[in-house]
Amino acid sequence: MKQNSVVSLKDINFKYSNEVILNNISLDIYDKEFITLLGPSGCGKTTTLRIIAGFETPQSGEVYFEGDKVNDVPPHKRSVNTVFQKYALFPHLNVYDNVAFGLKLKKMPKSEIEKTVKHMLAVVDLKGYEKRPVRSLSGGQQQRVAIARALVCDPKVVLLDEPLGALDLKLRKDMQIELKQLQQKTQKTFVYVTHDQEEALTMSDRVCVMNNGVIAQVGTPEDIYNEPANAFVADFIGEANIINGIMLEDCKVRLLGVDLDCVDKGFEKNQPVDVVIRPEDVEVTAPDQAKLNGVVENVIFKGVHFEISVKCNNCLWLIHSTVAQKVGDTIGMRIDPYNIHIMEKMFLNPTNDIITDVYYSDKENNTTTILLEGVEVTIPDAYFEEGKKIKIVLPPEALYIAGDGVGHLDEVYIESVIWKGEHNEIILESDERKWIMQSDIDEQVATYVPLCFDFGKAEISEV
């Protein structure tokens, strides 16, 4: 644990009934920092906050507060206060009494309460609002009362769970700045939760990107934007072209059939990688001035730049350029080696290969039946003798989700969906393994689907 951690989570595992919600999470939260837990809905952000606050106890792992293990310390004995999206103010009390509530519970002397509440209301810019019923306040003002109420007890750590989620865009932007200033002014540790990447990047000292109950990356907003750790982070933060590549050797990557210079080293020879290129990092040139060429498919003016869609070897790229391009024109796409980001694949070599015994075969109908995770699956137009071992190689395009709800395998979990320029690359998890599927449909992550195999696209051989 680092010296200046206020809160430290160590190998936290958390389940609801049998469902894994947090999978071995470790995170150090430093004193006086503004850290944001960022991730799509359902990835486990709120659960992480609830564990820090003491409302949930992890099945395994430790929660430390300034070096002391607090797993069994109840919420009111931790130096933590939470601000929720729904302000959870007492509607029948006025502003003063809402903010004073916690101090009265602590039996602070009346004169001191008065001083503290006055000071706190000034800090959140609500001086003179003491007597106002909270119901008469705007959403933004109510949220400031909620923040004042959380801060007034002087906690070490303030937890904020999507506190601006209920406000409209303009007010949310203003409040983002206010909250950040408030954090600096009060020198408290803020742990902020949002699913809005822009909000996270503008407000935070550090961002912790979560995906599916695991931490995908922790770093400064710049780190996370410029050096995403994997395709999920690159896809979730900002806009990105994510393309399958092959690392030929140090500083050389093959991308869409073209060999490009990059600055990354230490990969294996011919290792498949994910390549991330931000739209603003593609320089438009004359076709003969760049190794990659593409045809302009669409141009949208975005105020500062043009957003240009370019088709390059079947792959659709997004490019930002201050110069408009003509639809149908061929352009060159030049990328500085420093702007080509090479990332390890999140799931190393996922394959759909099945090696199994023939369970049953039917010569007359020319079919072979195998047992797949305990389910009988019959392969048409293929005959292999019973008892033989066969290998079935299924390309990603041979997998699909059953439209009629009946799959070869039911209840297969969608772990990630990444747009790879041409298709979505979808990673699925069944009881025993992971699968990689290619699809043009935007499937919903973290749902259960029936998975089918098109054996007509498979290569089957005896082993």
What tokens does 87 get? 């302000």
- Select from 46, 116, 176, 183 the one that contacts Mg ion (CB under 5 A): 46
| Strand ranges (E), 53-99 | 60-65, 68-69, 80-83
CB nearer to ligand ADP: pick between 138 and 447: 447
Binders of ligand ADP among residues 46 to 105 (CB under 6 A) are 46-47
Q: Count CB-CB contacts under 10 A for residue 387.
A: 9
142 binds, among Mg ion, ligand ADP, none (CB under 5 to 8 A by kind): none
User: Rule CB under 6 A: is residue 18 a binding residue for ligand ADP?
Assistant: no
5 binds ligand ADP per the rule CB under 6 A: no
Nearer to ligand ADP, 41 or 366 (CB): 41
CB of 58 to Mg ion, least distance (A): 17
Which CB atom, from 46 or from 98, has the smaller least distance to Mg ion?
A: 46
Residue 21 touches which member of ligand ADP, Mg ion, none, C-beta under 5-8 Å by kind: ligand ADP
Closest residue to Mg ion in the complex (CB)? 46
Q: Which does 16 bind (CB under 5 to 8 A by kind): ligand ADP, Mg ion, none?
A: ligand ADP
Give the whole-angstrom CA distance, residue 211 versus residue 42: 9
Between the CA of residue 410 and those of 428, 435, 454, what are the distances in Å? 12, 13, 15
From the CB of residue 99, how many other CB atoms can be counted at a distance below 10 Å?
A: 31
282 conformational bin, left if phi > 0, alpha if psi -120 to 50, beta if neither? beta
Helical (H) or strand (E) element with 4: none
Answer yes or no whether residue 36 interacts with Mg ion by CB under 5 A.
Answer: no
Under the binding rule (CB under 5 A), the answer on residue 48 touching Mg ion is no
Q: Does 16 interact with ligand ADP (rule: CB under 6 A)?
A: yes
Q: Is 194 in the site for ligand ADP (CB under 6 A)?
A: no
Q: State how far the Cα of 447 lies from the Cα of 162, in Å rounded to an integer.
A: 23
**By CB under 5 A, residue 352 contacts Mg ion:** no
- Residue type at 462 in one-letter notation: E
Instruction: Write out the DSSP string of 91-160.
Output: TTSBHHHHHHHHHHHTT--HHHHHHHHHHHHHHTT-TT-TTSBGGGS-HHHHHHHHHHHHHHT--SEEEE
**Is the CB of 42 or the CB of 155 nearer to ligand ADP?**
42
Which DSSP letter does residue 222 get? H
**Residue 450 contact partner, candidates ligand ADP, Mg ion, none, CB within 5 to 8 A by sort of partner:** none
Q: Which is nearer to Mg ion, 160 or 418 (CB)?
A: 160
44 binds ligand ADP (CB under 6 A): yes
Contacts with ligand ADP by CB under 6 A lie at 16, 21, 39, 41-47
Binding site for Mg ion (CB under 5 A): 46
